[in-house]
Amino acid sequence: ESLHLFSLKQICQLEWATQQLKPKRSAARFNTILYQRAFEEVERCSALELCFIMQGFRQKKNKSLTERVRKNLIERRRTLFPSGVETKEGLESLINTFLTFATCRPKLYGVYRNYAQDDVEELVANYEHDLCEAGEQASPEQLTRLAQALYVL
């Protein structure tokens, strides 16, 4: 009843907890409600909240949620990262978002593996300029995270 009072971060934490800690003690309907809430929020959330969604729902390995996040990263590029990589916060946000997306997305697409690879290439192509700039301006730790994200993608 009071699920609407929870923030997106709390929804993602609940999802992770029910999947990771007590998978047999929560109802499937509860997890469906959590998923629907997160799925609806993707369109209007920040880059950090996208990281929360990817992190919290990584055990689901849901391709439709991942696809929606990917499309959102492409379409809302300038609103998610308004300063690009020109500020320290923008640089850190971009690298962290890419790393989270890379490590939390489903890896097994079966016969649709080529389509998944095309989707990743489209995402990287849209951020190519920002990623190159990020590589030039990043600290050693950030550069390692960026390289890891691109390697995993």
- Condensed to tens digits (0 to 9), the pLDDT of residues 48-86 reads 999 999 999 988 888 889 899 999 999 999 999 988 888
Q: pLDDT exceeding 70 applies to what percent of the chain?
A: 94
CA distance 60 to 99: 18
Output the six-digit token pair for 9: 């971060």
The predicted structure's pLDDT at residue 113: 62
- Residue 124 in contact with residue 131, Cβ under 8 Å? yes
- First-to-last alpha carbon distance for the chain, in angstroms, is 39
pLDDT, mean of residues 102-112: 76
DSSP for the chain?
Answer: --GGGS-HHHHHHHHHHHHHT-TTSS-HHHHHHHHHHHHHHGGG--HHHHHHHHHHTTTTT-HHHHHHHHHHHHHTHHHHSTTTTSSHHHHHHHHHHHHHHHHHS----GGGHHHHHHHHHHHHHHTHHHHHHHHHH--HHHHHHHHHHHHH-
In the numeric block, the tokens 């890379």 are attached to: 102
The predicted structure's pLDDT at residue 112: 63
Output the six-digit token pair for 35: 């998923």
| Residue 25 pLDDT exceeds 80 | no
Q: How many CB atoms lie within 10 A of CB 65?
A: 20
* pTM across the whole model: 0.83
